[in-house]
Chain A
Amino acid sequence: MIAPPVTSAPLFSIVVPVYKPRRAYLTAMIDSVRNQDFPDWELICVDDAAGEDAVVTGILSAAAAADSRVRLVTRTVNGGIVAATNDGIGIARGQFIALVDHDDVLAPTALSRVADTIAAVPDADVLYTDEAHLGEDNHPVSPFHKPDFSPERLRSHMYIGHLGVYRRSLIETIGGFREGYDGSQDYDLALRATEQARRVVHIPQALYYWRIHEESVSHRSDNSAVFDAAKRAIADHLDRIGMVGTVEQTHPVGVYRVRRPVQDEPLVSIVIPTRGGSAEVRGRQRVMVTEAVRSVIANSTYTNIEFIVVFDDPTPASVLADLAEIGGDRMHLVRWSAPFNFSAKINRGAVHAKGEYLLMLNDDVEVISPDWLETMLSLAQQEGVGMVGPMLYFEDGTIQHGGHVYTGGGPGHIAFGWNPGSTGPFAGLIIDREVSGVTGACALMPTALFNEIGGMSTTLPVNFNDVDLCLKVTTAGHRILWTPHAELFHFESKTRVAGVVQEELDSLLLRWGSKLEADPYWRFGADEHRQ
C-alpha cells in the first residue's frame, strides 16, 4: 500500500493506549491500521509504560519511522488507561476519534466503511460497528451482531464496545474520559457521548476483532472494581438525564438493571378478551379467564387496576358470575356478539377503559412476578416509550416470548422454546431492551397512544394484529421495550386453535413488507438462536 501525503486534519485519529502488550499482538494491531483501504488517518500510540519496555518502545518507534501517520506519545509516568487515552485525544487532529485497544485488530475495510457512513449521515456524532472475538489462533469467533442504537440496552450493559468512533468536538465538549471509572471508562464515555450526540449510528458489520487471551480484562478473576465503576457510570447517567432510579448488577458478566419507581400510581385498565373456555393446566381443568383474573389479583402488588373482560355470547353464565365475584368493583363485563375478532374485542374493551394505561392481556396467562405491573409501568412511563412487554413462559417453563423479531419477511418470537434461565446471546434475555414489538398476549401502553394510532386493526381479526399495532407504535416515533423482570405464564393455544390465515399475512406484508426484512434490534442468526 502506498502511503498518502499526511494532511493536517485527517478524518480519523486512532487512539491506542499501550501498556505492556504482547509484542506480536501490538504489531498485529499496528499492521491492521496500516493495512486499511482508507488512507486518511493518524494512529496515536500512547506508551503508558513510560518507556520501561524497550522492545515495545522499539516497535512503536519503528512504526512511527516507517509511516509518518503513526505518532508516538511516551508518558513520563504510568497514568492508567484513562490518563493515557486522554493524552492521545489531547494531541489528536482528526475530526473523529476511533478507540482501539493495543492487542486488538481492525478489519481492513473498517475505516472506509465508517467514512462512507459519515458521508451518508453527516450529523453522526457517535458510530459503532459490530465486532467479533479473536481467539489465540487468530480466527474470528463469536460475532456480536449489535442492535441499532438502543438506549435502554445501553443502560443494561456496555453493548456499543468496539469499534467506537466519536466526533472529536463531542469528546472535547464532554471532557474526554473521566478519572475514577477505570475498567468502565469506555462505558462511561459512551453514556455521556450518546446523551449529547445528534445521531448515534450503528454499522452492522463486524469490523473489529477483540482479542481474547489470558491477560484480557474480561479474564480477570476479580472485576468488582470494574463493575462498581460501571454502576456509578450508569447512576451518573440517570442523574444527568433526570431519570429517577437505582442501579443494581444482575449478572456476574457485567449486566445491570435500572429500577425505577412508578410515578403517581395511574389506573391500569386490563382488557381481557375471552370466550370463557376451559383447558387443562398442570393436570387440572381450569376456566382460563377466571384463573387469569384471580392470579392478577392474588399475585400482583400493584392494585390500581380495573378489569374489562370482553366476552363472547357463548361464555357460560357461571364464568361471568365468578368473574363478578373475583373482580368486585374493579370488574367490568362487556358483551361481544359479533363473529370472533380479537382486534375488535380489544378495541371494544379500550373504548370502555378509564385507565391512563391499557394492558392487553390474554385469558390464558398466570402472573409469576408480583411486581410485574410496577416493572412494566415504570418502563412505560419513560419518555418516548409507547409499549412494554414481559417475559412469557409456556406451562413447562420454556420461554414463549422474549420480544418480537421482524426479519426475513415475517414476524417471530425471540427465544421461542428456549430453556428457562437462558441468558440469550449477549445477555439479550436478562436485560431491559428496545424491541421491534411485543406480543399482544400481554402488552402495556398509554391509552391515549392506543387511541391516537387507531387501536388494533380489525382487518387482522386473528393473527398479526399485535405486530401491526407495534409497527404503528414505532412508526409514530415511540420505542417499545421488553423486560425479563416481569414474568408470566402463557398457556398459549390452549383455548384457541392457532393457525395463520394467509390473507392476514398478505395484509401484513402489503402494509409493512419493507419493515419486516431486517430487525434493527435483534440480529442474531441461527447459531445464536440455538443458545
Chain B
Amino acid sequence: MIDAIPMGEQLRFAAIVILVVAGLFFTFVSAVGVLRLPDIYARAHTASQADTLGAGLALAAVALALGWQHATVYTVLLLFFVFITNPTAAHAIARSAAESGITPVTSEPTATDGGERADDGPADSSPNTDGEDGSTGGGGSA
C-alpha cells in the first residue's frame, strides 16, 4: 500500500470523479422530476429518494477528497444528517399535502374515491373497503 502511492492517488482521483458525476446525475434526475412530474406526491417521492442519493454521493466525494482531517468528520456527520432528515422532510410535506385535501393524480379517476378520502380523515381508516362502497352504491340502487 505504501509503495503504490501514485496508484492509490489515481484510484482515489477516479473514485472522487465517479462519485461527483453520480451525484450530479441523481441530482439532475431529481431536478427534472420536481419540474416535470404531475402532482405533489410524485414530486415528494423524487425529492426524497433521488435528491438524497445525489447529495449523499456528492458529500461522500467531498469526504474522500478531504482525507483524514477534522473537516472529514463534519462532512460525514453532514452526510448522515442529510440522509436522515431529507426523506423525513419530504414525508412531512407529503403528509401535510394529504391532510390539506390535495387529491393525487391517477390514470383512472373513477377507480378511486377522489376527494372523499380527505373529508373522511387520514388514510389509515382504509376507506376503500367494500362496506362503504356497498353502502353508498346500495343506497342509490335500492
Whether both chains belong to one complex is answered with no
Seen from chain B, the residues whose Cβ lies within 8 Å of a Cβ on chain A are: none
Seen from chain A, the residues whose Cβ lies within 8 Å of a Cβ on chain B are: none
